[in-house]
Structures are given as structure tokens and as C-alpha cells.
Amino acid sequence: MTLTYVDIHTHHKYSQRKDVESIINSDYFLSGKTPEQNHTVGLHPWWIEKVDVTWKTQLTQLLSKPYCLGLGEIGLDYFIEFDRKIQAEVCLTQLEMAKKFKILRIVFHCVRAYSDLYKLIKESGYSGKCLLHDFNGNEHELKQFLKLDCYFGFGAKLFKMESKTRNLINLVPLERMFLETDEQDNITIEQIYHEASQLRKIEPNVFATSLLENYQIFTR
């Protein structure tokens, strides 16, 4: 049986593969380009210092381009040394744009800031689908975001024996789960599926079918 994999958040293209559904993270605010494949685009907290005052106008135009499935990745990163207030303002601005332009889905980057991100989403009134990519929160934060129409992405951290994601993946309902390669060059989506199905104790074909169903719901 040939499996169809879903790589929900990646920086790589699968142009020659028919067995992978993927959403590419566009690095437009670095490269000035967007891919002609399914992608998201947004102002990442790492790149706030690098943009000029036209970024909102540019983003508005990019969100209406072909193959753009949503906004992202956007969010908060409290590991980097950049003003948290400015990060919050930029994130909230993009959430309000998503609400205004009826953007159906957002991919979030969040590091050590889940509680504050949850508050921003609630404050904005955005009610579309959300993906917390590379989720690494705690059980309380998981329960918070499960109140929203929110999905959780897991990837390379599953291979680290000390990582709490190896336990978290068993707490997330299967219908809210995705897997991802993100920027990894040395770990394939097949390897991530194998590791995740082992941790969840689910047959690979059943696991792959469930995540494909999630993808169809997430993108419709």
C-alpha cells in the first residue's frame, strides 16, 4: 500500500513527488519570492527588524496570490533578544489582517510564549484554523489551544530522547495532529512518520490516513 504523507510546514519543495502533500513556508520577507506551490506567507518575529513600513501593504497583496493558503508563519519568540512588545504588536496586526480579509488559516511560530499568544488570538477575535508548528508547550497550554480550532505540528524534536514532545504527541488528539520537516535537511517526512507512529502505537497506514484526513479538513 502506497502511503500519502502530509508535511504540513516545510521549507522544502516536493515538486517531483506525488506521495506528499505539503505547505511551504514562504520566506518572502527575506528572498522577495513566493513559491508556485501551496504555501503560507507572513512576517516572522525573527524578521521584524528587517522590513520597512510597506510590509503590511506587501503582505496584503501576497495573501491574495495563487497557491497562498494562509498567513504564516507569524507569532512570538521569547528566546530571541527582540522587544516583546513590538513582537506582540506585529503579531496582533497580522491577526487583525487575517480577520479583516477572512484568511482561513494561520501558521504560528511560538517559543516560550504560548500563554501570551493565546491571549493575542482571543483579543483579535480571529476564529479561523490555527497551526502551532513545532509545538513544544506544556499540558496546560495544550488544553488552552484545544479550545480553539487549533492543530499541533511535530517534527525533529521527536527524535530527542529528552524532549517533552515525545510525551506531548500522546496527549494531542489524533484529529488535531500534523507532522512536519520544517527546515530539516537530514530527517525526512517518512522518518518522522515512522517515529511518530511508534510513539503513538498506531499502524503507519492508519496514522497516515488520519493525518491526510486532517489535511483535507485543514485546507478546505
**Each residue's pLDDT tens digit, 174-218:** 999 999 999 999 999 999 999 999 999 999 999 999 999 999 999
pLDDT at 209: 97
Check residues 92 and 1 and name the one with the higher pLDDT: 92
pLDDT at 13: 86
Q: What is d(CA 192, CA 184) in angstroms, rounded to the nearest whole number?
A: 11
Mean pLDDT value of segment 2-18 = 90
pLDDT at 37: 93
C-alpha grid cell for residue 129? Answer: 484554523
CATH number where 11 lies: 3.20.20.140
Instruction: Please give, one letter per residue, the 3-state secondary structure of 145-176.
Output: HHCCCEEEEECHHHHCCCCCHHHHCCCCCHHH
The 10 Å Cβ neighbour count of residue 70 is 24
pLDDT at 164: 95
Range(s) of the domain holding residue 25? 5-219
pLDDT at 180: 98
Averaged pLDDT score across all residues of the chain: 96
pLDDT at 58: 96
Q: What is d(CA 102, CA 80) in angstroms, rounded to the nearest whole number?
A: 30
Task: Return the minimum-mean-pLDDT range out of 15-29, 40-54, 139-153.
Answer: 15-29
pTM of the full predicted structure? 0.96
CB-based contact 207:218 (threshold 8 Å): no
CB-based contact 177:207 (threshold 8 Å): no
Domain total of the chain: 1
For residue 78, the 8-state DSSP code is S
Each residue's pLDDT tens digit, 36-92:
999 999 999 999 999 999 999 999 999 999 999 999 999 999 999 999 999 999 999
pLDDT at 6: 98
Mean pLDDT value of segment 138-157 = 98
